[in-house]
Amino acid sequence: MSEHEASLDVAHDDGEEEEQVDLDGEVEPEEMVDEEVEDVVDVEEDDKLEGQEGLDLDMPEEEGIGDQDEPYAEHENGVQKHGKADGGESIEAMHTEEHASQQEAGVEQKDEKDADKNAELLLRPPHGSEVFVGGITRDTTEDDLRELCVSCGDVYEARVLKDKETGQNKGYAFVTFTTRESAEKAIETLGDSELKGKKLRFSQSQSKHRLFIGNVPKVWDKPELEKILIDQGPGVESVELLKDPNNPARNRGFAFVDYYNHACAENARKVLSRASFRLASNVPTVSWADPRSGLDTPAAMAQV
């Protein structure tokens, strides 16, 4: 073996010993740094991949950050700023529901009161059941009239009209029976009777039960007006709405309404006269009508 070949073999053996033997038993610093760098790079790449799965890469950075921070920022002392209760229902929705329930209860109470009032009005005797009694003495009482009239039927009410200043009666009274038939019988049978030495006069009382309603929309027909009046109060018996002779599709702008009794008519007069009440957009005019007048009588036309 030549000297050159021998030196190559020695160099090769020394290289193998350097690669296989570490006198200190530790890894070289350069290899350790390389491994740490590779690990860090791998971790950063994994984090980027995981972040890309949960985020929209096209979303602006500020928007993404705001979305992440908002759920935590809205919690304060265990309650969200949006005001949601434990069950997930918003407090505002709960208040709205409670307010709606209160309104509904108020409407129901009003409907019950209106129904009771309407029933009470209809319990009063019908129109035509009241008679006028004239010629009574100054000392005649309501009980005296009841005893006299009970032979004709059940007496609902007896009223002796008195002077406000002296307190004495004015010499006449009104007796209301429960039916029209009893009133008619009293007029027929008691017309020549005497009470406390004086002859009495009996006649039909002209109680107010008929209303005049003006400024009715001229495009309305009778069913439209009738429905409105029925909704406003009980006791509507008839509605007279005359058509325009020159245009049958239109009315003349006024009507006469008959009610079951004076109490129902008086209630309707008050309701229809309210400042807020309208017939469509028209403010109606409401007043008492002559109970004996029709639409084409001079009295009715004078009222129009």
Cβ(136)–Cβ(92) under 8 Å? Answer: no
Q: How far is CA 123 from CA 28, 77, 89, 268, 295, in A?
A: 114, 63, 50, 16, 29
Average pLDDT over residues 10-28: 44
Percent of the chain predicted with pLDDT > 90: 53
Confidence of residue 79 (pLDDT cuts 50, 70, 90): very low
Confidence of residue 296 (pLDDT cuts 50, 70, 90): low
> pLDDT tens across 113-127, in order?
888 999 999 999 999
What is the model's pTM? 0.60
Q: Say what the pLDDT of residue 18 is.
A: 43
Distance of CA 251 to the CA centre of its chain: 32
Helix, strand, coil abundance in the chain, percent, nearest 5: 45, 25, 30
Q: Any idea how long the chain is? A: 304
Backbone φ/ψ region at 88: left (φ over 0), alpha (ψ -120 to 50), beta: left
What amino acid occupies position 192? D
In the predicted model, is pLDDT for residue 94 greater than 60? yes
